Amino acid sequence: MKEWLAWAFQVSGKEHVSISSFAKKFRFYDRDEAEAAYETLLRNPEISRRRRKRLQGEFNAFKKNHGLNYWSKRSAFNPDKIAANLR
């Protein structure tokens, strides 16, 4: 969690702290795991309430509009699944 929070503060102004950038940075390929971790990050009071609210709104819109397509593509590139298929 501390690593996630440090990242959120470090990239502020350089990169958007979106669920997709979060998943890429921390190598999440499973939708449920990534969304649970991201929601944990968004509940952290060290991030300003205003920023958390904005990020939560963007996260909700992402889930509604792009989530299914994003996660189906992302899970296809899961290194663990690829390695298992090669065995």
- Banded model confidence at residue 81, pLDDT cuts 50, 70, 90: low
Per residue in 48-65, is it b (16+ CB within 10 Å) or e — as a string? Answer: eeeebeebeeebeebeee
**pTM summary value:** 0.79
- Banded model confidence at residue 37, pLDDT cuts 50, 70, 90: very high
Over the chain, what is the mean pLDDT? 84
Q: What is the Cα–Cα distance from 65 to 57, expressed in whole angstroms?
A: 12
Average pLDDT over residues 25-44: 92
Inform me whether the pLDDT recorded for 56 exceeds 60.
yes
Q: What is the pLDDT of residue 17?
A: 81
Average pLDDT over residues 64-74: 90
